[in-house]
Amino acid sequence: MVKDMDKRKNKVVLSLGGNIGDVKETFITVMSLLAKEVGEILLISPLYRTKAWGMEDQPDFLNQVLVLNSDLEPQELLKGCMEIEIKLGRVRKQKWFERTLDIDILFFNEEIIETSNLTIPHMFIHERNFVLFPIVDIIPDFIHPLLGKSMNELKKECKDELPAIRL
């Protein structure tokens, strides 16, 4: 994935999203908490702004992608991310609803994981510009373990019509 990552740790790619409150400030706080509780942040994409996906009558979202080294296993990672979301005011009302923060696990090493509460790789990566644009900025050649294509290839093939605007 990234050549200088510590081989003893898990290589994790996370997506951040939010559209309520001071999202830029929330992301700064998230990165601090992730570094303390989840793992070392190695790469940070630029911020992107997009219209809401799935439920359009709400404020625009800011999105960002991070690459980390983590000692956590997948379920521990999920728990840690959900706890950070709650600390920063996330309330789960309904799918695709406005939120202060959303942390999605996109990739965990090159593993394919399907449990009752966790699917990795995230099932919609290849369908969403708000994920593909920032991920291509930092790991364009990473190969999706299920689709067998690079992030750059997936971005070129994506049918999502919502523009992702780099800030």
Q: Which of 22, 71, 102, 166 is catalytic?
A: 102
Alpha helices in 8-157 (DSSP H): 23-37, 74-87, 129-138, 151-157
Q: Is 57 a catalytic residue?
A: no
> Contact at 8 Å (CB) between 163 and 93?
no
Q: Is 99 a catalytic residue?
A: yes
Q: Which of 60, 104, 128, 137 is catalytic?
A: 104
Instruction: Identify the bridge partners of residue 22 per DSSP, sorted by sequence position.
Output: none
Query: Structure tokens of 62?
Result: 């800011």
Q: Which of 49, 90, 137, 141 is catalytic?
A: 90
Q: Which of 8, 71, 99, 128 is catalytic?
A: 99
CA–CA distances in Å: residue 38 to residues 12, 74, 90, 159: 10, 11, 18, 33
Q: Catalytic positions, please? A: 90, 99, 102, 104
